[in-house]
Structure 1
Amino acid sequence: MTNAPMIDLREATKKYDDGPPALAGVTLSVAAGDCVAVLGHSGSGKSTLLNLIAGLDRPSSGSVTVDGVRVDRLGEAGSAKYRRASIGMVFQFFHLLDDLTVLDNVLVPAQLAGTGRGEARRRAWELLESLGVERHAKAHPQRLSGGERQRVAVARALMNRPALLLADEPTGALDSSSVEDVRQLLLELNAEGQTILLVTHDVQLAAGLAHRTVELVDGAIARDVVNARALPAVGR
């Protein structure tokens, strides 16, 4: 058994031109089963950090290791395989395919991974039922509410049992009621052992969901604090 972190960045720097780096020497460790929120204003480096962890971009220097994989050393084919096997991604605007049913949207990652049809359908139904949207399986995404679409997006992200769930502003396009639904959903997933890295501008969401909050300013970590949610409740 290993105690290696799920995410391990060492002095990760990303420069796109001759200006200031988008990410400047970031060292960050996230344990398996943890939930960490990354806060920061536009241009702070949040998206760059997410892209490096997802293998969508490479650091100019430093290292990025996720679930034991040196992501910064992967080629294009290796990065695609890594994302299929290890990463689930949830976005602000869902990115569901409107010409596919809810069930078929959830099946897409399994099809890309070459999972057998029977096994994939069983897994998809299991996820839709556990996330409370199985009644919409034959509907198309545009007929669902924002909160329901985000639940479908989460089901799709979890289809291949990823080691890490990356959530990029997952409540940014939702009303207050749906925000709470998604927060509870992510809390439940984390309680079941799912490692989550949440990128958000919502301070309250970060404090109520994550064990830690990391704040980026000008590409560097300005603050890394343990949230009250991580502390044991008195009398429990």
Structure 2
Amino acid sequence: MTHVIELQGVAKRYGGTGAPALGPIGLTVAEGEALAVTGPSGSGKSTLLNLIAGLDKPTEGSVTVAGRRIDQLSEHALARFRREQIGMVFQFFNLLDDLSVADNIQLPAQLTGTARKKAAVRAGELMELLGISKHARAYPGRLSGGERQRVAVARALINRPALLLADEPTGALDTASGQDVRELLLDLHRGGQTIVLVTHDLALAQSCAGRTIHLVDGHLAADTLAQAVR
């Protein structure tokens, strides 16, 4: 079994003293697995996601993603690795309002040096797949929340990342748009995309992920497999 994520003895402390914000914790996520991370506010969910994304480094332990010890990479190497191997989707989309939908999607590919024509072809494929082709020349501010989240997912997938990280992807959406994104994540999981999903929404976790971990006070309180992902 190939592991896309492997955390060994990972802990994160802020300020150098006191109880860690996370860990020590060990965790593996297999290729093609969809993992949901749940827990109350302050439980360590965001810290865990930031460590996996390479946005923060552990105080102790090792973080391996797609075969690389990312906690040992320089900031420059880490930024490149993140662009190439990790796609990220956020609660508030983080789209650039002065760029069109197509240009927002293509931006990460251009940052990795992909030729503009090749990036445009890939963006076109993703827009078709996600049902947003008609919005290619529109600007994010003209779209609904659900449509903007689809743009954000397309942008996250443009470089064919080994790992998709989603941080409260339905948190800013109404019920209908949230259901739309839930179906999208489920389709991606069925297609073999490795996903780590941080959410307060237990229904989202249960419907999209084959496995759920629950954090409490920085520690792994539960690790359960779903009976089936519908």
TM over 0.5: yes
Counterpart-to-counterpart distance in 1, 2:211 and 2:23: 20
The aligned counterpart of 2:13 is 15
SS in 2 for 1:189: helix
Counterpart-to-counterpart distance in 2, 1:212 and 1:190: 12
Deviation, structure 1 residue 202: 0.6
Per the normalisation by structure 2, the TM-score is: 0.98
Counterpart-to-counterpart distance in 1, 2:116 and 2:94: 23
The aligned counterpart of 2:43 is 44
Per the normalisation by structure 1, the TM-score is: 0.95
- Over the matched positions of the two proteins, sequence identity in percent amounts to 61
Q: Is the 8 A contact 1:101 1:141 kept in 2?
A: yes
The aligned counterpart of 1:225 is 224
Q: Which letter does structure 2 place at the counterpart of 1:225?
A: T
SS in 2 for 1:166: strand
The aligned counterpart of 1:26 is 25
Specify every segment of 5 or more residues in structure 1 that has no aligned partner in the other structure, as ranges: none
Q: Is the 8 A contact 2:62 2:69 kept in 1?
A: yes
Counterpart-to-counterpart distance in 2, 1:86 and 1:128: 20
Q: Is the 8 A contact 2:13 2:59 kept in 1?
A: yes
Counterpart-to-counterpart distance in 2, 1:228 and 1:93: 31
The aligned counterpart of 2:179 is 180
Q: Which letter does structure 1 place at the counterpart of 2:226?
A: N
Counterpart-to-counterpart distance in 1, 2:143 and 2:103: 15
Counterpart-to-counterpart distance in 2, 1:175 and 1:118: 36
Q: Which letter does structure 2 place at the counterpart of 1:6?
A: V
Deviation, structure 1 residue 168: 0.3
Q: Which letter does structure 1 place at the counterpart of 2:144?
A: S
Deviation, structure 1 residue 228: 2.2
1:139 paired to 2:116: no
SS in 1 for 2:228: helix
The aligned counterpart of 2:79 is 80
What RMSD over aligned residues (CA atoms) do the two structures have, in Å?
Answer: 0.9
Deviation, structure 1 residue 182: 0.5
Specify every segment of 5 or more residues in structure 2 that has no aligned partner in the other structure, as ranges: none
Deviation, structure 1 residue 24: 1.4
Matched residue pairs, number? 229
SS in 2 for 1:174: coil
Deviation, structure 1 residue 173: 0.3
